Structure 1
Amino acid sequence: MNLSQNPNMEKYEVDEPAELLTFLLAIMPQRSRNSVKSILTRGQVFVNNEEVTKHDFKLESGYTVTIQKNKAAKAATFEKMNILYEDDSIIVIEKDTGLLSVSNEKENSHTAYKQLMSYVRKINPKNRVYVVHRLDRDTSGVMLFAKSEKVKQTLQHGWKDMVKERSYVALVEGVLTKNEDTITSWLKENKTFKMFSSEKPNDGKEAITHYKVIKSNNNLSLLSVYLETGRKNQIRVHMADIGHPVVGDKKYGSKINPIGRLGLHAIVLAFKHPVTGELLRFKSNIPKVFLKKR
């Protein structure tokens, strides 16, 4: 019997003795066995208000089973990342600086992708995750993965319409003359894989970046940056173009690094859920080192 009144909680009363996994499968017939096991693994199930993850936990008549919706994983430990949200279709993470999104020729182990792949395969060896978009190794913040090829394709093909907000904070060198502005250029990649702005219209991929100054001092400015397009290294190139490279970004001309990392953080990602159509918005805190007075 469902006793739930809270929209974020589903509460059931146990009518007869049963193992927890068997009970959950019976009350959630629309979900696959793997999906139900995943809910258990993530620590979303409570028996008499105590969290339980054991599949064979013995339920007695009169016990109360509560399921908390959309709870991030507790039963997993990750290096330089954590899960903000997970359901049957997507995983949203918060990535720290220094962690690759996916592998490259030099590193193939401690990537966000590899850690998530290992995590979902603990529930079922056939499970997979799929890369939807990427953050540079030294950029921190919110990042989205899909749990099926179909969802990945839906997100990538509909990215422009489905993503409603994609914003960053950037710590850049110097004090900007304009408090807010829009930078537009055509981005190309040279033979050394470095992006640059072409002076010729339509020569490359159009890139549009909006920025607004949050605060500044004599040496640095903290900016709120909104992407209208999502090109490789877009913010880094555009900040260098206007003479204010991102702090710590030697590749694009930065000369100082008082924070010991790249001054770029993906603070907000808001998008329509690829299956339900629900608008989801995830926000990560500005790294404290960006806010220190200097």
Structure 2
Amino acid sequence: MITEFVVTAGEQPKRLDVFLVNRERDISRSALQRLIELGRIRINGLAVKPSQKIKPGDTITMDVPKPEPLELKGEAIPLEILFEDDQLLVLEKPSGIVVHPAPGNWNGTLVNALLHHFQVAGGSVSTIGGKERPGLVHRLDKETSGVMVIAKTDQAHRHLAAQFKHHTISRVYEALVLGVPKKGHGLIELAIGRDHKERKKFSSRTTRPKESVTEYRVDHRFGKTASRVLLYPRTGRTHQLRVHLSSLGHPILGDPTYGGRKVCYVEGIEIPRVMLHARSLGFQHPMTGERQEYVRPNPPDMDQVIHQLTRIGSAPRLTEA
């Protein structure tokens, strides 16, 4: 597909690849650089390097090839199924597994595991999400564990998606965060989107902010070192809980992207991953109308960190002589 546009007046001089990565949100910087080097992206009809500086009035032509159809294969990856009927499937996603295929993770995903499950057990999966995201009504980050619902029919998918859109889905997350929020209960209202400088991050520094709201409640304090916080998201933006807690000054333990190195090793405790768990999920069944709710306790790695924090929080502090 060939597209052409002119750099508008007032645009500051910058590298071509940097300019395009902020304009073309669906294409990574590395992919843009490859297209430039292949001559598929040109300035004023001329082949250039990714470092070429753009200026107002430049005509940029992009010839982006149509992606090859992706053929996904089922893989025998164990699933912790909590409920299943002919309309939907509820499971507990473990930490460390990517939900759907994407560059760098074409195999070993939850979708691969689901395809294998349906091949063996029979049944179908919703096609609304396309080939790469069949049945996926919502997602969890790679390191986040917890409850997910999968749509097996298009009708169920639309019904569940509408519940997410109208916020009638009930969700509770549990997070271990650095320090203790001053307010034991509060509301975080911060519009976020893809960060305009660091493309893999989301923040309020964005050209496309989307309303994002999270209610939180401090559930337990581990001295002044850390706390366990319950989260009730009212919207479902990418990385919302991680960004919101970081904006509060209390990033999630084990999340260097939004908390830096200080959250990866706390008071001598090595944090193995992002300490975020989707504890419960409640929704109305698409066909029966019955209200269903599924709750899962913390996985062992999170319980282990809680145990270690409890020992630190209850230990007497030495005073200086």
TM above 0.5, yes or no, is yes
After TM superposition, the structure 1 = structure 2 runs for residues 121-140 of structure 1, keeping only pairs within 5 Å, are 121-124=119-122, 127-128=124-125, 130-140=135-145
More strand by share: 1
Alignment pair present for 1:221 and 2:227: yes
Code of the aligned partner of 2:291: L
Code of the aligned partner of 2:98: L
| Paired position in structure 1 for 2:104 | 106
Q: Choose which of 181, 189, 204 in structure 1 pairs with 2:209.
A: 204
| Paired position in structure 1 for 2:88 | 90
| Paired position in structure 1 for 2:25 | none
Structure 2: gaps spanning 5 or more residues: 1-74, 127-134, 265-269, 313-321
After TM superposition, the structure 1 = structure 2 runs for residues 134-149 of structure 1, keeping only pairs within 5 Å, are 134-149=139-154
| Contact persistence 2:137–2:149 (CA under 8 A) | yes
| Contact persistence 1:92–1:144 (CA under 8 A) | yes
CA-CA distance at 1:158 after TM superposition: 3.4
**SS of residue in 2 equivalent to 1:102:** coil
CA-CA distance at 1:154 after TM superposition: 2.2
CA-CA distance at 1:94 after TM superposition: 0.3
Q: 1-side partners of 2:298 and 2:89: how far apart?
A: 21
| Paired position in structure 1 for 2:276 | 264
Q: 2-side partners of 1:268 and 1:144: how far apart?
A: 11
CA-CA distance at 1:211 after TM superposition: 0.7
Alignment pair present for 1:236 and 2:248: no
Q: Choose which of 295, 299, 305 in structure 2 pairs with 1:283.
A: 295
**SS of residue in 1 equivalent to 2:105:** coil
| Paired position in structure 2 for 1:29 | none
CA-CA distance at 1:104 after TM superposition: 1.4
Provide TM-score, normalisation by structure 2: 0.63
Q: 2-side partners of 1:183 and 1:143: how far apart?
A: 24
Structure 1: gaps spanning 5 or more residues: 1-75
Q: 2-side partners of 1:173 and 1:223: how far apart?
A: 10
Code of the aligned partner of 1:273: H
After TM superposition, the structure 1 = structure 2 runs for residues 181-200 of structure 1, keeping only pairs within 5 Å, are 181-191=186-196, 192-198=199-205
Structure 2 CA distance for partners of 1:137 and 1:246, relative to 1, 3 Å:
same
Structure 2 CA distance for partners of 1:162 and 1:239, relative to 1, 3 Å:
closer
Q: What's the CA shift string for 1:23-66, capped at 9, x where partnerless?
A: xxxxxxxxxxxxxxxxxxxxxxxxxxxxxxxxxxxxxxxxxxxx
| Contact persistence 1:211–1:226 (CA under 8 A) | yes
Code of the aligned partner of 2:285: H
CA-CA distance at 1:77 after TM superposition: 7.1
Structure 2 CA distance for partners of 1:290 and 1:269, relative to 1, 3 Å:
farther
4+ runs of 1 displaced by more than 3 Å?
76-79, 160-164
Provide TM-score, normalisation by structure 1: 0.68
Q: 1-side partners of 2:103 and 2:96: how far apart?
A: 16
Q: 2-side partners of 1:152 and 1:160: how far apart?
A: 12
Comparing 156-165 with 218-227, greater Cα deviation is found at 156-165
Among the aligned pairs, what percent are the same residue?
Answer: 33
| Contact persistence 1:82–1:94 (CA under 8 A) | yes
CA-CA distance at 1:119 after TM superposition: 0.6
Structure 2 CA distance for partners of 1:164 and 1:107, relative to 1, 3 Å:
closer
Code of the aligned partner of 2:210: K
Code of the aligned partner of 1:216: R
Structure 2 CA distance for partners of 1:100 and 1:278, relative to 1, 3 Å:
same
Number of residue pairs aligned between Structure 1 and Structure 2: 215
* RMSD of equivalent CA atoms: 2.2
| Paired position in structure 2 for 1:22 | none
| Contact persistence 2:186–2:216 (CA under 8 A) | yes
Q: What's the CA shift string for 1:115-159, capped at 9, x where partnerless?
A: 0111111234x7335111000000000011110222212221332
| Paired position in structure 2 for 1:41 | none
Q: 2-side partners of 1:227 and 1:267: how far apart?
A: 12
